[in-house]
Amino acid sequence: MKTAPTAAPPRRASRGRSGAEARIVQSIGEAIADRRLPPGTKLAEESLAQVFGVSRERVRKVLLLLAQRRVVTLIPNRGAFVAKPTAREAREVFEARRVIERAIMETLDRLARPLPPGVLARLNEHRAREEAAEAAGDRKALIRLSGQFHLLLAEFAGNATLAGILGDLIDRSGLAIAAFERRSSHSCSAEDHRRLIDALADPGPDRNRAGEAVRLMMEHLDTIERQLDLEAKPEPLIDLKSVFAGADGE
Ligand SMILES: [Zn+2]
C-alpha cells in the first residue's frame, strides 16, 4: 500500500474546506503556478468575489489560506498580493527543496529496487505527457506537469509529510522562478526528468551507483536555480477578470 501508484495526478488534499473555497483556492493556485498571476499581482477581494460569484468574506478566507501557504502576502490596509519572493527567499526555497528532495530520492533508492513496474509505468506515462507538452510548446501544461513530476516521486516514496512540504515548496519555487527567471523559460526540462527516471529504473548492479538518482536530482535543482536572475523587474498590470474568464462556468 505504501508505495502503490495512483491513477490521478497528485493534488494536495482539500484540508477540510468547503467545496466552493477549495475550488477557488485551486483556481487561484493554478493561475499563480502557471504564471497567469505573476508575483506582486494585487488580488482585489471585490473582483475575485465577482469572478467566482461568492461573498467577499469567502474570498477573504481563501486569501488567508493561500497566505498560510505563503503564496499570497496580506498587507494591512492594502490587501492581498501574489507573494513576491526576495532573492534571499528564493535561495532558501531551493535550499529547502534540495534537503527534501534528497531525502525523497534516497528513500526511493532504498525502497524501490528495482522500481515496481506500476510505478515505472506511471512515471513513463507522465514523462510522455511532459515531452508532448514540450514538443507542442505548451508552457502552461509543462509548468504544471513539471511540478507534478516532483510530487509523484514524493508520493512513491510513501512519505505524505514530505510530499506536503514539497508541494508548498514547489508553489513557492514557481513564484521565485516567475520573479527571477532570465527569459521565458520553464522550471524543469523533460530531458532531466527522463534521466532521473532512467536512473531509478536501472541503477545498475553496482551498489555504488545507488546515489546516481540523488546526484541527478541535486544537479537538476541546481540547474533550475542557476537560471534565476536576481535583477529587479517592473511589475506588470494584470486584469483579474480576463485571467479568470471562463474559469467559473462549469
Ligand atoms: Zn523537475
CA of 51 to the centre of ligand 1 (A): 32
- Spell 13-38 as b/e; 16+ CB within 10 A means b: eeeebeeebbbbbebbbebbbbbbbb
Question: Is residue 37 within 8 Å of 31, Cβ to Cβ?
Answer: yes
Q: Which residues sit with Cβ closer than 5 angstroms to ligand 1, an ion?
A: 188
CA of 99 to the centre of ligand 1 (A): 15
Helix (H, G, I), strand (E, B) or coil at 249: coil
Per-residue pLDDT, 232: 55
Grid coordinates given for 126: 507522465
CB atoms within 10 A of CB 168: 16
Element at 75 (helix H, strand E)? strand 72-75
Rg (CA), the chain: 19
CA of 236 to the centre of ligand 1 (A): 27
CA of 20 to the centre of ligand 1 (A): 31
CA of 22 to the centre of ligand 1 (A): 26
The topology (CATH level 3) of 87-226 is Four Helix Bundle (Hemerythrin (Met), subunit A) (1.20.120)
CA of 152 to the centre of ligand 1 (A): 11
Return d(Cα 151, Cα 123) in angstroms, integer.
Answer: 11
Please give the chain's pLDDT, 250 residues, in tens: 344 444 444 445 444 457 888 899 989 988 888 888 989 999 999 999 999 999 999 999 999 999 998 899 999 999 999 999 999 999 999 999 999 999 999 888 777 667 788 888 999 999 999 999 989 988 888 888 999 999 999 999 988 999 999 998 998 988 888 888 876 565 688 889 999 988 888 766 655 555 888 999 999 999 988 888 865 555 667 888 888 887 655 4
- Spell 103-127 as b/e; 16+ CB within 10 A means b: bbbbbbbeebeebeeebbebbeebb
Q: What is the DSSP string of 8-24?
A: SPP----TT--HHHHHH
Per-residue pLDDT, 150: 95
CA of 171 to the centre of ligand 1 (A): 13
CA of 17 to the centre of ligand 1 (A): 29
CA of 156 to the centre of ligand 1 (A): 16
Per-residue pLDDT, 190: 84
Per-residue pLDDT, 3: 42
Per-residue pLDDT, 143: 85
CA of 66 to the centre of ligand 1 (A): 23
Q: Which CATH class is domain 19-82?
A: mainly alpha
Question: Is residue 166 within 8 Å of 154, Cβ to Cβ?
Answer: yes
CA of 43 to the centre of ligand 1 (A): 29
User: Domain locations in the chain?
Assistant: 19-82, 87-226
CA of 143 to the centre of ligand 1 (A): 9
Helix (H, G, I), strand (E, B) or coil at 205: coil
pTM score, whole prediction: 0.77
CA of 107 to the centre of ligand 1 (A): 18
